[in-house]
Structure formats: structure tokens, C-alpha cells
Amino acid sequence: MSNTPLDRASREQELPGSIRDGRSALSVTDRLREAILGGEIGTGVRLNEVRLSQTMEVSRTPVRAALQALAGEGLLDYVPNRGFLVRTFPLSEIVDAYDIRAQLEGLATRFAAERGLSVQDRDVIEQALSDGDALLDKGVFETGDMSRYRIINGNFHDTILGAAKNRMLGEMIRICHHVPVSSNRNIVAFEHRNVRRRHDDHHRIYEAILSREPHRAEALMREHVAGIKSLLVNTLKRQTVGDDGNRALPDFGE
Amino acid sequence: MSNTPLDRASREQELPGSIRDGRSALSVTDRLREAILGGEIGTGVRLNEVRLSQTMEVSRTPVRAALQALAGEGLLDYVPNRGFLVRTFPLSEIVDAYDIRAQLEGLATRFAAERGLSVQDRDVIEQALSDGDALLDKGVFETGDMSRYRIINGNFHDTILGAAKNRMLGEMIRICHHVPVSSNRNIVAFEHRNVRRRHDDHHRIYEAILSREPHRAEALMREHVAGIKSLLVNTLKRQTVGDDGNRALPDFGE
DNA sequence: TCGGTCAATAGTGTATTCACTTGTGGCTTG
DNA sequence: CAAGCCACAAGTGAATACACTATTGACCGA
């Protein structure tokens, strides 16, 4: 297990190049985060401050600030006198993240039901619901529909989260979303039927919130998110057993 | 609402003095965190980097690193070109934190029940249970018993958390514990009877884990933690209505 | 030849300095 | 007298230089 110079160089860090392509308007932290979440940097690698600063064309100071921040988000590990390394998420933690999200988003939905929705909230959600209906009533997905629904879905969830009026909860859920997938084997394929079902979930959740049924709203949302975990686990099982080519289909959130 | 120099000075930051008393072996981050959680710095104040560095007798660089880290933990807010300020937690968020903890610790207990306890885990928990029994069987609390039970209680919860084998979950629960109480009005008084009941909860939770009943274990733990919230809310109500002197009794965790 | 020790180098930790933004107080002008 | 503008001061943002730690590779001795 001795480290040849070549070993170290390849394992530690290659400069993806696309890091510095991004408009430098984006903060260093954001660029780094995207590079990690996008898989450009790879899990487990040790981040070299001087090399990063050269790649990003800034000094070490903002790089260090970004590393500190990302470590706070749980994306990096810090070892004294050894710097920061990209944290590796074992498969179990990736799967668990969906359970955590289910609990937290369920709780957020309960809060939203307890505290009520503003008219703006209702507008956004109703728009999301009808847009989704329109998209799904066609019966099939055309090009771009996936990412369109991804946005619709995001609006729905974000609005409920905002209505929960709890910042800490929002941050925790955000962290759950930022768990980097260790490999693209974990990507879940969504068929039209599944999305239809999940969109119907949205309708029911919204009704439960409107009719001020916190407990029911919470249970519905919890189940809604827990369903994604099931999809993921099933996909993984199929791949592990059969490994039958249909991996890496585009996921679009939930 | 104009800011006289005096206004600003007193509102922004006073140098608590005890910050620099701590052994400088403790990292700057830890010293700052303690100062914030201990209430020495006060909520809402803007942290001046140069003054902090003078007080702590280090340069601005490690101070900035600490601020970044604490912002990541959610203890500080960051405003570009204006630096960091101690985040204020409205009462609603403090109360909510117990709900979040209830969900998360419930989930952790479910994981622990699913994954099982190591012999070391069992040893620690059984010790905590018997120690607590011994302490409570006396029927009354003597001096120091409160903090003794606080440790016992911590061992119980920490062990279960460890058995959940999920780092992200652990960090989130830790954050919940680090919500700074905005005033010491929020401190909950525990009577012997309450602690007895909560300790009996521990026994039941342990049994549920041992007998591999994840769902039951989760529900028990969720209720266990949710009970603290009820105590807090009741205490607050009593104080708000009557304001009858029995505030600021020492709490000791749960 | 293998193991241990030492030196060199790469890399992080800290300090200091300069640049830039912002807020504030005073001054000027209508 | 009020309102707006300008200048100065305070404080953060970034860069650079220096100090210290750790790791690695080579050399020496057994």
C-alpha cells in the first residue's frame, strides 16, 4: 500500500477544468459545491488548497473560507494539519438520507398545516398542481418534460417548506438534498405512472394542509418522500441482482 | 433609530473577558461557540473580527475560520461585506427544535433497533439504566444528583445515536441540542416524578431495541423527546400567565 | 537486503498588509 | 432649515509572506 508519486497525484486531485469555466460571479463556495455534487471532484479525495486556488484563480484565503463553509454543510471532512477531504457517503447513508428527509419534510408539512398558507403560497401550489396535471395528462413524456416537472415539483415542496416557517428545518432538508450520490448507479428511473402517482400525492397533501389536518398532512408527506427511498432501493436491488442495463436513466428529483 | 457611537458600541459587542480565560488549547471555534451558547455574547450582536482577534489574542485569520465554521453550524448569520452576527432564535424555533429532535432521535432509535446493539453499547446502556435507578430510588434529589443524571441521560442517548450508525443524523441532532436559549425563561424545571417517568421511558426504549421492534422503539423515543417540549411549553405558559417566580430552575437535559 | 533515521519538500496554519465597501458625520447649497 | 453630496473612518475581503507540521524519499548501518 505504498504511495508512489503517481498514485498520490491521481488519487488526490485532478483539476477538472470545468471548475474555472463557471462564471466567476458565482462564489468560490458555490463553484466548489457544484464541482463536488456534480461528481467532478470525486469522493474521498484530499483537497489541495494551493492547487484549488490556482485552478480557481483566487488566493488561498477565499478557498479556505469555502472549505470551512462546505465542511459546515457536511460535504467535507477536516483533519487538523491535513486539510479537507471530500466526505464519502456509504450507500447506507444515502438510503438513510431519504428516511431523514421523509421525517423532516413530514414535520415541515405538519407545521405548514398548523400555521396555514398565505395567498401567495396557495397561488404557487395551485399553479404547480395544475401545471403538473397538464403535463401528465398528455400521457407520455416528451423531451424536456422531465426537467419541467422537476421545477414544478420543486416549487411545490419549497412552498410548503417556506410555509413551515422554520429555518433550521429548511437547512436540514437542504442538506439531505445535497448528499452526493457516490456513483450514478443510484439514480432512480421514474416512469410516467410513478410520476402520476406522486403528483396525485401532491394534490392530497395540499388538501390536507388546506383543511388544517396537520397529522394527516404529515403522514401523507412522509409517505410521499419515503416512496422515493423504495424506488431507489428497488432499483439498486434490480441492478445488484440482474445488472440489466437500464441504469443511469435520468432522475428528476422526485 | 439613529445609531449613536455609544449605542453601537454597547449593542455590537462587549468583550466578555472570560473568552480569553479559557485554556488557549481549546480551539478558537470552540471558545467562540461556548461564549455564544453560554450567552456571554448575546443574540443578534454583530461580531467584530478585529476586536475578537484582540480579545482572543490571535490574528484575524483563525477568527474568520471559526466564524465560517460556526455559520455552518447555524449559530451565526453571514452578510456580505458586513461580517457575521449571532443568529437570533425566535421562541417558535426553539420550541420547534424539540419536535425536530423528536423525529430525528426517533429515527435514530429505529435504525439502532434495525441494526442492533454491540455488546459495548449494551453495557453502557445497562449501566446508565441501573445507575439511574439507583439515583432515583432514593426518592429525592440531593446536591449534584441533577448533573449526575444529566450525564447518565447523555450516555443513554449518545449510545443509541451511535448505534444508529448514521453520521448526518448525529450531526443534525447535535445541532438541535445547540439551539441557544434566547433567555433563561425557557429553562424547564424537572421534578423527581418527571425524571422517574422519563427514566422508565429509557427502560422501555431499551427493551424495544433489544427485542428488535424498530417501529415501537421509534415511537417510544419520539414520545420521550416530545415530552420535553410539552414540559417547556407548559412552563412557558405558566410563566407568561402567572410569572410566579419559579423560573430559572436548573434543567439537566432531559 | 531490510529497517531505521534524517533531511528535504510539500502543504497547512497563522500573521500581516493592502484593497475595497459601507456607513457616518459634516459641509454645502438650494 | 433641510436635503443631498462628499470625505473620512471603520471594517470586511483578498492576497501574500512566514512558520510549523507531516510525509516521503534517500542514505546509512546492521
Q: What is the DSSP string of A71-117?
A: HHTTSEEEETTTEEEEPP--HHHHHHHHHHHHHHHHHHHHHHHHH--
* Mean pLDDT (chain A, rounded): 84
CA of B64: nucleotide with nearest C1': D12
Q: Give the helix/strand (H/E) hosting A171.
A: helix A167-177
Average the pLDDT over each of A13-27, A51-65, B32-46, B95-109 and give the range with the smallest value: A13-27
Q: Among A18, A104, A27, which Cα is nearest to A70's?
A: A27
> What average pLDDT does the segment A215-233 reach?
94
CB contact under 8 A, B168 and A99: no
Amino acid B226: pLDDT? 95
User: Is A80 (CB) below 7 Å from strand C?
Assistant: yes
Q: With 80 as the cut, is the pLDDT of residue A16 above it?
A: no
More confident residue, B233 or B190: B233
> What average pLDDT does the segment A43-47 reach?
93
> What average pLDDT does the segment A70-97 reach?
94
* Mean pLDDT (chain B, rounded): 84
CA–CA gap between residue A164 and residue B103 (Å, rounded): 15
User: Is B83 (CB) below 7 Å from strand D?
Assistant: yes
How far from chain centre, in Å, is Cα A219? Answer: 22
Q: Is the dihedral of CA A22, A26, A27, A31 positive or negative?
A: negative
Using the Cβ of B97 and the Cβ atoms of chain A, whether some distance falls under 8 Å is answered with yes
- CA distances, B211 to each of B132, B217, B233 (Å): 22, 9, 33
What DSSP designation does B182 have?
S
Grid cell 450507500 is found at: A91
Q: Å from A23 to nearest chain B CA? A: 19
Q: Quick one: pLDDT band at residue B42, thresholds 50, 70, 90?
A: confident
Closest-CA residue of B relative to A95 is B166
Nearest to A168 among B74, B168, B169 (CB): B74
Q: With 50 as the cut, is the pLDDT of residue A253 above it?
A: no
CA of B62 to C1' of C29 (A): 48
How far from chain centre, in Å, is Cα B9? Answer: 30
> What average pLDDT does the segment A177-202 reach?
80
pLDDT digits (tens, 9 = 90+) for B206-228: 999 999 999 999 999 999 999 98
CA–CA gap between residue B201 and residue B207 (Å, rounded): 10
- Residue A188, by phi and psi: left (phi above 0), alpha (psi -120 to 50) or beta? beta
User: Is B9 (CB) below 7 Å from strand D?
Assistant: no
SS3 content of chain B, % helix, strand, coil (to 5): 65, 5, 30
How many contacts, defined by CB atoms under 8 Å, are there between A and B?
A: 74
CB contact under 8 A, B68 and A73: no
> What average pLDDT does the segment A62-77 reach?
94
Amino acid B142: pLDDT? 86
Amino acid B28: pLDDT? 92
Using the Cβ of A75 and the Cβ atoms of chain B, whether some distance falls under 8 Å is answered with no
Closest-CA residue of B relative to A78 is B69
Amino acid B1: pLDDT? 34
